[in-house]
Structure 1
């Protein structure tokens, strides 16, 4: 999932149907942010979209505008910005890091005892922690 913005889009298109139609060129539109709904940020509209991280992300969408009275159409280019696009590793097929940051591909990036390494200590079949690290916590219980 990612937030996409349409900077410079005319506020006349700040309606859910129009924005979802434009956003569907990128992925499955989920919802609008509150500023877009309230029209309190006229500089751009934002839509949360379910995206395929393996696909290409266009920088523009071509929108056909049809005049209801004359039935004439014209094309408008809508600029797209991707906000908070999740990283995806093409090497290990995991969301959260890019191929350049992949510890499987670049073992020199591995660090010991970091919370980032925790997922590597989990057995993929059993779900159990394979690291022998034991954490101690004192618990006081009053009867």
Structure 2
């Protein structure tokens, strides 16, 4: 049993600055050279310092010192390293190399917000009930648009999403609509991004339909050691004399059959 509870682990990670801006990079096909990864990160032109650690042949750990670099890499999500795609996710204490994280950055639109809420700090307070806000888009930052606000939020796509909520204005409450942009699909069965549970090939209905079309499985052949094999010494083998006599009898039958055919052919020719 672990000596730390999940809540204690989260508090420790949040209190430790070295774990504040840590990302996970995943190569779907694996990476071939560590030198290529180092050269690619040099070309990314990150503002602050960073450290790279190899986790396995498909995953790397990215520790960043600058919060802007962290947000930039996380929001973009997909980077290229010498032609190989690199998917970037947020690191959490419960990260597993066999599963995709369910917390991903998603752009969310809030149409027709109250005018006094078109401010970054106000938006972060309002949108924190949905997830962790990361940044706002450029028009929102310049305050030259008041029709809607766009905020990038870290969402747990494995959980049910809120499509509207109430904003308390003090003397009144306003119902706010939520629009998610390019919401990624997440399979809670195989813990993978890119498809839903109904489309899962491992345990979804599509697998059941595929097995139904395939038909019944063939009978299982028992292992060799379980098969009944008659020992050689118990097999009935006729003596050599009997086998020779049988072979001679068969040869004689063939010879007499050929002679009858020849005689029949002569009789037919004479007629």
Task: Normalising by structure 1, report the TM-score.
Answer: 0.64
Distance 1:86 1:35 in 2: 24
- Superposed CA deviations along residues 33-70 of structure 1, whole A, max 9, x for unmatched, are 1121123332210110001112221111211113xxxx
Residue of structure 1 in register with 2:173 after alignment = 75
Q: Which has more helix, going by share of residues?
A: 2
In structure 1, the residue matched to 2:133 is 29
Aligned to 1:100, what secondary structure does the other structure show?
A: helix
1:103 aligns with 2:201: yes
Aligned-partner Cα distance in 1 for 2:182–2:143: 21
> Which structure is larger by alpha-carbon Rg, 1 or 2?
2
Provide the alpha-carbon RMSD of the alignment: 1.6
Contact 1:63 1:75 in 2 (8 A): yes
The 8 Å contact of residues 25 and 61 in structure 1, kept in 2 or not, is answered as: no
Name the structure 2 match of 1:117.
none
Q: Distance in 2 between matches of 1:92 and 1:40?
A: 44
**Deviation of the 1:16 alpha carbon:** 0.9
Could you say which residue in structure 1 is the equivalent of 2:150?
46
Deviation at 1:11, TM superposition (A): 3.4
Aligned residue pair count? 102
Residue 5 of structure 1: how far off its partner (Å) = 0.6
Aligned position for 1:139: none
Counterpart of 2:166?
62
Q: Is 2:109–2:149's contact at 8 Å kept on the other side of the alignment?
A: yes
**Could you tell me whether the CA contact under 8 Å between 1:62 and 1:77 is conserved in 2?**
yes
Q: Give the drift of 1:79.
A: 0.9
How far apart, CA to CA, are the structure 2 residues paired with 1:36 and 1:103? 41
CA distance in 2, matches of 1:103, 1:38: 46
1:7 counterpart residue number: 111
**Are 1:20 and 1:29, in contact at CA under 8 Å, matched by a contact in 2?**
yes
Mark the runs of 5 or more structure 1 residues left unpaired by the alignment: 67-72, 109-143
Counterpart residue number, 2:240 = none
Work out the CA distance in 1 between the residues paired with 2:154 and 2:128: 9
Deviation at 1:9? Answer: 1.3
Contact 1:62 1:75 in 2 (8 A): yes
- 1:22–1:61 contact (8 Å) kept in structure 2: no
**Larger RCO (alpha carbons 8 Å, 6+ apart):** 1
1:88 aligns with 2:186: yes
Q: Give unpaired runs (5+ residues) of structure 2.
A: 1-104, 211-271
Quote how far apart the aligned CAs of 1:29 are: 0.6
Equivalent-residue separation in structure 2 for 1:11 and 1:58 (angstroms): 22
